[in-house]
Amino acid sequence: MMLEPFAPYRSNEFQVKFATSNWERDEAHALRRFVFCREQQIFEDDDRDAIDDHAIPIVALSMLGIAADRLVGTVRIHEAEPGVWWGSRLAVHEDFRKVGALGATLIKLAVSSANAMGCHTFFANVQVQNGLLFRRLHWDVVEEFEIYGKPHLRMKADLAWYPPCATPEAGFVALAKKAA
């Protein structure tokens, strides 16, 4: 009898939500460290900064039925001045990019949850190679500049496309485009 070759399991369903437990917060930092220190080499050992003291972490979880299997994406949001919110440290695990609109769904919850908390302006400093992703999600370029030795775009979300989400602890479900 011929056996099917082993295929690593990948969930087809993801939940994008505010981090509500310590393991989610810890895994989000681990993913950030991997992406921004090891993969992109923007920071040396740790990408955490003072914003983490008051930012809200958002996570994308791969789901096995109703249980979370692993953390596959993250972003954080914070209010810098009344009504003005920022998103930063957007990262999706490399095996899960362009799989289930995880980056787009993290951005959607980031802006929609801020909108529900009184946001009137939402900014992000976006690496130039991701400008098109944000433009397609109804963000406009406000300014071009350089930080961390890399060209960036300061971009602003069009809140009309991001209706308030008042249940961010439940967040949104994202589905893989193709069966794994």
Ligand X SMILES: CC(C)(COP(=O)(O)OP(=O)(O)OC[C@H]1O[C@@H](n2cnc3c(N)ncnc32)[C@H](O)[C@@H]1OP(=O)(O)O)[C@@H](O)C(=O)NCCC(=O)NCCS
Residues that bind ligand X (CB under 6 A): 35, 90-92, 97-98, 101-104, 126-127, 129-130, 132-133
Taking the complex as a whole, the smallest distance from the CB of residue 6 to ligand X amounts, in Å, to: 25
35 or 68: whose CB is closer to ligand X? 35
- For residue 170, the minimal CB distance to ligand X (Å) is 20
Looking at beta carbons only, is 37 or 56 nearer to ligand X?
37
Q: How far apart are CB 127 and ligand X at their closest, in Å?
A: 4
Best CA proximity match to 141, nearest among 154, 152, 151: 154
Is the CB of 77 or the CB of 91 nearer to ligand X?
Answer: 91
105 forms bridges with which residues in the sheet? none
C-beta of residue 153 within 8 angstroms of C-beta of residue 135: no
* Minimum distance from residue 175 beta carbon to ligand X (Å): 12
Q: Is the backbone of residue 52 left (phi > 0), alpha (psi -120 to 50) or beta? A: alpha
Decide whether 3 or 51 has the Cβ nearer to ligand X.
Answer: 51
> Residue of minimal CB distance from ligand X?
103
Q: What is the spatial distance between Cα 51 and Cα 67, in angstroms, rounded to a whole number? A: 30
Shortest distance (Å) from residue 47 CB to ligand X: 11
Phi, psi (rounded to 5 degrees) for 160: -60, -25
Q: Are 96 and 102 in contact (CB under 8 A)?
A: yes
Angstrom distances, CA of residue 164 to CA of 6, 76, 108, 109, 161 = 43, 17, 10, 9, 10
- CB closer to ligand X, 3 vs 178: 178
